[in-house]
A and B are shown apart, each in its own frame.
Chain A
């Protein structure tokens, strides 16, 4: 088990995002969470990183109760946010290299890994460009490269293809699939379900009035996600 939410509730003032959420993910799985904007996908991710504390319940990550984020915990998670977090006055290369600098990785290894991802994502010609000079799609790919360059155990990607065209989306999704094949757990949230499909992909859906799992063998068989509203049905499908 990579992580497990047990009876987790999350409120913002009187606004309830989740109530008694029970949810878990096994290691080395590829999961897609879909749902409309404002349904709580990002909150779920933020709680998983320790950026948000649940109002009630507990979250266990790799066997340890998660009370708040710690450096060690965060290093195991590759985060791809909807909005870019990179520094505009740094080059693409430097922005992607940062996690390795934090980890104290040697220059040769850093260069090898950064160049690998620049090649995979077609950003090599932009390596020395400032972040502020990139297009939206290029920024998103650079953000993705920075998130995965450490080879994290869990990749949380919040709308990783929102600013990409179909071809570029496929490049990113292929890269995620490769990482999954190498043993990483991939968890994507999106309001546009990816076009590609595979029997090994677990799909979850959060909606305003209902929450359902569309393929939930790896999860507990009770409500996988519970919205502030009653769960109307749990649907399993391939």
Chain B
């Protein structure tokens, strides 16, 4: 019996951890997607100029139908930006001549492909152009991780219920057998069993949601970024899904085990 209880406690803890990790992973993925959505609403192209004349670039951008908006940064702007980015290097950057800092522009375009084709017209003044793309691989990784954690979470939930119902069956087999013989409807035996399972899973789900919430707040305070909290509907959906899936798994397991109980 003790062995059973230890196994169940370990599984329940694993379920809480899996749930917490799943929510955290989803939260990270959600934040990344939210951030990228605002950052990469339209494609962005950075252009670095060869010389100091920016008039030709401006003329080209003003007349290009693919351009939505643009910002041109002169040599001084870029020098300042670099110094801001690396404050510890400011003493090194400050004395440098402006000729080491080229003029650049960040251009928001409608279609990156068409714009890059068209930029050939000012090839003589452009030293380099860079297309900024969202980190697809990171997004894929986070989505994959979420899917893996979801599968593990489901597996843990199934195991939590399986071992608990197995133990209950061992304890209750004589009663179930008698009830079966007397024509009791399985639902009458299942409902109290389901009640206890729902309570356990509900508490574990609430605990995992609370830990995920707490950890996400800790991350927000440590890593400075424009974090977005998960909408309340996600927390509710997690809790409701835990209960619904637990009920479904419990029903399937009970049906299977009750069918095997000796009759009287």
Contact = CB atoms under 8 A, between A and B. Distances in A.
A139 interface: no
Interface size class of A (residues with CB under 8 A): 10 to 19
Contact of B183 (A71, A81, A86, A146): A71
Contact of A86 (B178, B185, B188, B263): B178
A86 B179 CA distance: 10
A75 B183 contact: yes
Nearest to A72: B183
A75 B180 CA distance: 10
Contacts of B179: 98, 102
A137 interface: no
B264 A102 contact: no
A102 B181 contact: no
A113 interface: no
B177 interface: yes
A28 to B, nearest CB: 22
A85 B185 contact: no
A79 B264 contact: yes
A87 B175 CA distance: 7
Interface string B240-264: 0000000000000000000000011
Interface residues of B, number: 13
B184 interface: yes
Given A74-B182, A98-B179, A102-B188, A87 B174 contact: yes
A238 interface: no
- Most interface-central of A72, A73, A74 (chain B CB within 10 A): A74
Contact of B182 (A51, A81, A88, A99): A99
A27 interface: no
Contacts of B181: 74, 79, 85
Nearest to A75: B183
Nearest to B174: A87
Interface in B97-134: none
- Most interface-central of A81, A87, A146 (chain B CB within 10 A): A87
Nearest to B188: A102
Contacts of B182: 74-75, 98-99, 102, 146
Nearest to B183: A74
Nearest to B186: A71
A73 B183 contact: yes
A45 to B, nearest CB: 11
Interface in A13-72: 51, 69-72
A69 B188 contact: no
Interface string A98-123: 11001000000000000000000000
A85 B177 CA distance: 8
23 contacts: A51-B263, A51-B264, A70-B183, A71-B183, A72-B183, A74-B181, A75-B182, A75-B183, A79-B181, A79-B264, A85-B177, A85-B181, A85-B264, A86-B178, A87-B174, A87-B175, A98-B179, A98-B182, A99-B182, A99-B183, A102-B179, A102-B182, A146-B182
Interface of A: 51, 69-75, 79, 81, 85-88, 98-99, 102, 146
Q: Which 9 A-B pairs have the closest CB atoms?
A: A74-B183, A75-B183, A71-B183, A102-B184, A51-B263, A99-B182, A85-B264, A71-B185, A85-B178
